[in-house]
Chains A and B, each alone.
Chain A
Amino acid sequence: AQSVTQLDSQVPVFEEAPVELRCNYSSSVSVYLFWYVQYPNQGLQLLLKYLSGSTLVKGINGFEAEFNKSQTSFHLRKPSVHISDTAEYFCAVSGRNTPLVFGKGTRLSVIA
């Protein structure tokens, strides 16, 4: 069975500073990894996904994530955040034929 740990429940960061949201997963089989964003009172939107191939994955809104198999991590990064990036971010993992398993979320607060 897969599981996901998001290491920080809240991350405050100043506008235009870089940010990293950490995600570790556990699985005994090959995995697919995802990051979703949730803005207030909305559903989740897909930011990016890792299926195979290049370990650096680029997503929407300037976000990217790096798959590290040896560290079982899939950290999300952005070099310069904006106020509009304030939201909750969820890391998720699935196996070849299993539903997504989500982490508990990281609340990113961008401070002007």
Chain B
Amino acid sequence: DAGITQSPRHKVTETGTPVTLRCHQTENHRYMYWYRQDPGHGLRLIHYSYGVKDTDKGEVSDGYSVSRSKTEDFLLTLESATSSQTSVYFCAISPGQGGQPQHFGDGTRLSIL
């Protein structure tokens, strides 16, 4: 959808290991976002980017870092994964904020044992 690819789609790992999730877009949109989705919480913003090397924190940024070295790629890193970070992670893109809708990837299901 809307030229967004998330990888991997599924991952199982152990507590304490580093994990990197990748979001790749082909739409040349300025904004990219990382959300996590948990039952009863809806979608919560982790971090977002408004350009190459320009990022900002969201509502639940603790324990996560991001990087954007190219317009098309936005990486989410869990430096030392914890079981509380087991979730479904979604990437989204948009050309701008305000009234511009976001388009979502298909998600990455991450399980931390």
> What distance in Å separates the Cβ of B99 from its nearest Cβ neighbour in chain A?
4
Tell me the smallest distance from the CB of B105 to a CB of chain A, in Å. Answer: 5
Q: Do B106 and A43 touch (CB < 8 A)?
A: yes
In the complex with contacts A99-B45, A105-B42, A32-B90 CB distance below 8 A: no
Q: B74 near A: Cβ within 8 Å?
A: no
Q: Which of B43, B98, B99, B106 lies in contact with A102, CB distance below 8 A?
A: B43
> For residue B90, which residues in chain A have a CB less than 8 angstroms away from its CB?
43-44
Q: Measured between alpha carbons, how far is A42 from B109 in the docked complex, in Å? A: 11
In contact, B40 and A51 (Cβ under 8 angstroms): no
* Shortest beta-carbon distance from B32 to chain A in Å: 11
Query: What would be 23 A-B contacts, judged by CB atoms less than 8 Å apart?
Result: A6-B42, A9-B40, A32-B98, A32-B99, A36-B104, A41-B106, A41-B107, A42-B106, A43-B1, A43-B105, A44-B90, A44-B104, A46-B101, A49-B99, A94-B97, A95-B98, A98-B97, A99-B58, A99-B97, A101-B45, A102-B43, A104-B40, A104-B41
